[in-house]
Amino acid sequence: MVAEAALRLVAILAAAAIAAIPASAQTNDPNIDRAQIDCRNGTNAAGADCTEDGGNDGAGDAAAGAVFLPALIVDLFPNPAAPPAPMPTPRPGPAVSGGNDHGDPAVNGAVISPSDLIAVQPARAVVGDFVPDEVLVTVDGDTGAVQQIAASFGLQVRSQRQSLLLGSTLVRFGIPDGRPVGVVLAQLATDGRTQRREPNHIYSLQQAAGIVNYAFDRIALDAGQASGENVRIAVVDTGIDDTNPALAGVIAGQFDAMPDVPIEKRDHGTSIDGLIAGVGALKGMAPGAKIYHARAFEGGKSTMDVILSALDWAAEQNVAIINMSFVGPKNELLGVACRNARALGMVLVAAAGNNGPKAPYGYPGAFEGVIAVTATDARDGLMPQANRGAYVFISAPGVEMVAPSGAGSDVVTGTSFAAAIVSGAIANLIHASPDRSADDIEKALAVTAKDLGPKGRDNDFGYGLLDLKAAAAKD
């Protein structure tokens, strides 16, 4: 009888433990704001009030209203019936100061076997595409600490570097034994030396299928007076064709964040640079601007560690603007980098995304302090493929525009190119008033935009169509 009672108790405790494992959902509600999303996901990264009085409908309502998308990937624990992967033998490690105060073994110097951690931490739910056998971690410690973490958790150190924008050592750990990324992230959370732990997410350039550049007229910029002379702009994109006449004298510096990958495509990056600061027949919005181009994409794809490397290089070039014409899932490492770049005074411009009206929010555009740009056509109509959401900040031409490309020139469409138009327009503002801060520029764009769609800011057009003439006149 005692044995039967014990078995019933174990079953009850196991059921309770399963019920307590949190699930993360992506919502398609176009009216929800960033804080509400964080409340629903349980992250509350923005410090939002998640009580009922604070605007949250409660855990039950949030779960009922959530839409689970096919793109939501949940990494579950390995099947307990399968034999566990071999784990390295734990070895004693030095005591680590500065860890958490919850009795973590990392604080008192013990080294934990990964097999022991499975019973302690629930696996994280991972949203979006990511490298399946890697994680990115910021580490409080030196190379010795990094190696010890790798040995303790059965990981490989694939790369490590000191990140300017993250303010710590960024390590790319490989997972050699097939454990799911969500499990490894949960295991690493028990070590106080690991500050932030994220998947190595995959990001995509935002170019839709592709007639004279009508952007000057639509954003109220006199083509004859346009100038971004000596304004430094970083572009994180594909490789470029720097022999294209439109880029003659435009490129001030280049950096290859993925030197081991051959360059095959140069069209997207060439078009972005040309729309921003092109010269000659394919004149950009801000001729005279200096482009610092970081190649971080090939085949339209990149990973988080590559993008962070490109952003660090861009920040070191003392640029005023960073153009990010790409979209991917939310990643806190990218969020920290964007916040710190903004704190350094840089204006951050990103594509809102081309994944349709029901798509989840696109990052980095949806991070606070990043100007998310959607695309409109020659009649100020919204590009049908554009993402929607409260994070959309402003609209700009991005449908069927002629731009330089690797083949000479092409007709391009996408929020990528609308973002380039906005970056070039902002360069004009900085050229005219070098003392304008990023906050001042953002406010000026918002209050002077030409309202489109429903009155006031909306999920389709943001504040409306960029009006550079009005923004320039705004004190």
Is 225 found in the same domain as 258?
yes
Is 186 found in the same domain as 230?
no
Residue 406: predicted pLDDT: 85
Residue 206: predicted pLDDT: 84
> What token pair was written down for 296?
């971080």
Q: Is the pLDDT of residue 427 over 60?
A: yes
- 69, with CB counted inside 10 A (0-12, 13-18, 19+), is middle
Is 238 found in the same domain as 384?
yes
The one-letter code for the residue type at 434 is P
Is 201 strand, coil or helix? strand
Is 238 found in the same domain as 386?
yes
With respect to residue 431, please indicate whether it lies within any of the assigned structural domains. yes
Residue 116: predicted pLDDT: 55
> How many folded domains does the chain comprise?
3
Is 300 found in the same domain as 439?
yes
With respect to residue 193, please indicate whether it lies within any of the assigned structural domains. yes
Averaged pLDDT of the chain: 81
Domain C-terminal end among 137, 172, 200: 200
CA distance linking residue 241 with residue 196, whole number of Å: 37
Residue 378: Cβ within 10 Å count: 15
The arithmetic mean of pLDDT across residues 359-376, rounded, is 97
CA distance linking residue 258 with residue 266, whole number of Å: 14
- The 10s digit of each residue's pLDDT in 382-405 is 999 999 999 999 999 999 999 999
Residue 117: predicted pLDDT: 52
With respect to residue 91, please indicate whether it lies within any of the assigned structural domains. no
Q: Which has more pLDDT, 407 or 80?
A: 407
- The 10s digit of each residue's pLDDT in 180-206 is 999 999 999 999 999 999 999 999 988
With respect to residue 100, please indicate whether it lies within any of the assigned structural domains. no
The strand pairing partners of 72, in sequence order, are 127
Residue 82: predicted pLDDT: 37
With respect to residue 88, please indicate whether it lies within any of the assigned structural domains. no
> What token pair was written down for 364?
């980095």
Domain range for 144:
105-200
Is 62 found in the same domain as 10?
yes
The Cα-based distances of 97 to 145, 156, 166 in angstroms read: 12, 24, 20
Q: Is the pLDDT of residue 96 over 90?
A: no
DSSP label of 246: G
* Report field, pTM of the whole predicted structure over 0.75: no
Is 62 strand, coil or helix? helix
Is 299 found in the same domain as 269?
yes
Is 175 found in the same domain as 270?
no
Q: Is the pLDDT of residue 93 over 90?
A: no
With respect to residue 373, please indicate whether it lies within any of the assigned structural domains. yes
Is 320 found in the same domain as 242?
yes
Is 63 found in the same domain as 49?
yes
Residue 124: predicted pLDDT: 85
Range scoring the smallest mean pLDDT among 28-37, 153-162, 220-229, 336-345: 28-37
Is 163 found in the same domain as 133?
yes
Domain C-terminal end among 151, 178, 200: 200
Is the distance from CB of 428 to CB of 277 less than 8 angstroms?
A: no
- The 10s digit of each residue's pLDDT in 238-283 is 999 999 999 999 999 999 999 999 999 999 999 999 999 999 999 9
With respect to residue 240, please indicate whether it lies within any of the assigned structural domains. yes
With respect to residue 231, please indicate whether it lies within any of the assigned structural domains. yes
Is 407 found in the same domain as 306?
yes
The CATH number assigned to the domain holding 286 equals 3.40.50.200
Domain C-terminal end among 158, 176, 200: 200
